[in-house]
Amino acid sequence: MSIDEYLKTMERFIDDPYGRQIRNRFAASDGRSELAVLQSPSRQEYEQVRRAVAIMTPAEKENAADLDERQIKKIAEDAAADPALLAIFLNGYSLKQKTK
């Protein structure tokens, strides 16, 4: 599965009402539930990740699981995305690749 295909799997659950309910139930005291982003992203979260993936080079996409913190921060900065959100997405992709 390519990183673009992985991103596409998230798209159908954007702002899913049930997903929001679950995210709210398990949110931290500050209202955030970052780990659920891969299962039910908000429109804003999805758009940030989509922009980041769109600007990644073919080599970065091919080796997404091996990107270091500096590279992730640079991609996120260039895409106007949250680096932590991008890191969660890339970690999820890496795990998906390892379980195939």
Per-residue model confidence as pLDDT tens digits over 17-63: 888 887 777 766 665 666 677 888 989 999 999 999 999 999 999 99
pTM: 0.85
Distance (Å, whole) CA 84 – CA 86: 5
**Residue ranges of domains in the chain:** 3-98
Give Cβ neighbours of residue 39 (< 8 Å, ≥ 6 apart): 13, 19, 22
The pLDDT value recorded for residue 40 is 85
The pLDDT value recorded for residue 35 is 62
Give Cβ neighbours of residue 71 (< 8 Å, ≥ 6 apart): 60
